[in-house]
């Protein structure tokens, strides 16, 4: 699925170099424009910007949780809906690197129209990320019950 209308998302991070290492080196997002206080990334075709907030070194980004399918889903969160093979490869990479999951990779809403693979984890600044996938993303992404 190509992105015809990419979104723009900006989040705060505690350290620009740490964000570059996590989003650029580890997740493989290409870097765009930057300064010493912000950096643009290509997050699967979307413009994702990390803005420096040094206060996060003492007080990380916080979230609350909302119950979904028996799990406490962190809110706010952001991420990408991947193809299933890419989701599986990312889950394997995260496990291999010892990333601590807030919600381990699993199949949510199994047997229902919204069945999806999902996982939640945090970046080094405390921003919650969700990556998910569907067996048939095009037909299932917005399917109602």
Asked if 60 and 21 touch (Cβ cutoff 8 Å), the reply is: no
The average confidence (pLDDT) of the chain is 92
Query: The tokens 């643009």 sit on which residue?
Result: 40
| Element spanning 137, H or E | helix 137-140
Cα 22 versus chain centre, distance: 11
CA distance 100 to 7: 27
Tens of pLDDT, residue by residue over 68-118, are 988 999 999 999 999 999 999 999 999 999 999 999 999 999 988 788 999
Instruction: Tell which CATH classification among 3.10.180.10, 3.40.50.300, 3.20.20.60, 3.30.479.30 matches the domain 63-144.
Output: 3.10.180.10
- Within the chain, all domains assigned CATH 3.10.180.10 are found at 1-53, 63-144
Strand partners, 83: 134
Question: Is residue 144's pLDDT more than 80?
Answer: no
Q: Are 127 and 26 in contact (CB under 8 A)?
A: no
Assigned CATH class of 1-53: alpha beta
User: Do the beta carbons of residue 80 and residue 73 sit within 8 Å?
Assistant: no
Task: Compute and round to an integer the Cα radius of gyration of the chain.
Answer: 16
55-59, 74-78, 123-127: range with lowest mean pLDDT = 55-59
pLDDT at 2: 61
State residue 1's pLDDT score: 45
pLDDT in tens, 22-54: 999 999 999 999 999 999 999 999 999 999 999
The pTM score is: 0.89
């Amino acid at each position: 699925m190509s992105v015809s209308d990419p979104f723009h998302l900006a989040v705060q991070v505690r350290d620009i170099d740490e964000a570059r290492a996590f989003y650029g080196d580890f997740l493989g997002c290409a870097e765009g424009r930057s300064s010493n206080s912000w950096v643009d990334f290509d997050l699967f075709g979307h413009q994702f910007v990390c803005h420096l907030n040094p206060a996060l070194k003492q007080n990380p980004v916080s979230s609350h949780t909302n119950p979904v399918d028996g799990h406490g889903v962190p809110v706010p969160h952001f991420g990408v809906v991947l193809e299933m093979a890419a989701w599986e490869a990312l889950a394997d990479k995260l496990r291999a690197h010892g990333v601590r999951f807030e919600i381990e990779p699993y199949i949510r809403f199994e047997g229902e129209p919204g069945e999806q693979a999902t996982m939640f984890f945090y970046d080094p600044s405390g921003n919650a990320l969700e990556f998910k996938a569907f067996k048939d993303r095009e037909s299932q992404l917005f399917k109602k019950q």
